[in-house]
């Protein structure tokens, strides 16, 4: 069954809302000095959901993946500007696995959490502008 334009617009909006909720959660965790690993994970998730919103918006098929840089390279098929953020996407990618499972790093310094939140804000704003 083929999606119509209304379904695609609804799905783009749903991805964006989910991403916005992840950013809100990250901001609350930062303000309340909550768990930094969870904050960083939400930053990754917000960015991932915005990338997927862009892909739906552009009608680009994507596999079920969670690596930001891989998703960004798929986005770059339509807009090469995504390639400018390679290092930023890769730095946030580290929080997908590392922040979710036991490892040597379980708590990130507050300054790193602040930087991660700023990077997620920058990327999600960039992607949102591409969707308008």
Q: Give the predicted TM-score (pTM) of the model.
A: 0.91
DSSP 66: -
Domains in the chain, ordered, with CATH?
5-131 (1.20.120.330)
> Could you read off the pLDDT of 90-108 as tens digits, one per residue?
999 989 876 566 666 678 9
**Burial classification of residue 33, based on how many CB atoms lie within 10 Å of its CB (0-12 exposed, 13-18 middle, 19 or more buried):** exposed
**Which of the four pLDDT bands, split at 50, 70 and 90, describes residue 6?**
confident
User: How many percent of the chain have pLDDT more than 90?
Assistant: 83
């Amino acid at each position: 069954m083929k999606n119509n334009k209304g379904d695609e617009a609804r799905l783009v909006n749903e991805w964006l809302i989910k991403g916005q909720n992840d950013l809100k959660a990250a901001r609350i965790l930062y303000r309340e000095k909550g768990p930094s690993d969870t904050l960083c994970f939400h930053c990754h998730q917000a960015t991932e959901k915005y990338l997927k919103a862009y892909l739906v918006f552009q009608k680009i098929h994507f596999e079920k993946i969670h690596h930001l840089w891989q998703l960004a390279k798929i986005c770059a098929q339509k807009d090469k500007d995504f390639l400018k953020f390679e290092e930023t996407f890769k730095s946030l990618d580290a929080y997908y696995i590392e922040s979710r499972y036991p490892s040597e790093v379980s708590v990130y310094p507050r300054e790193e959490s602040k930087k991660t939140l700023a990077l997620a804000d920058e990327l999600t704003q960039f992607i949102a502008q591409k969707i308008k």
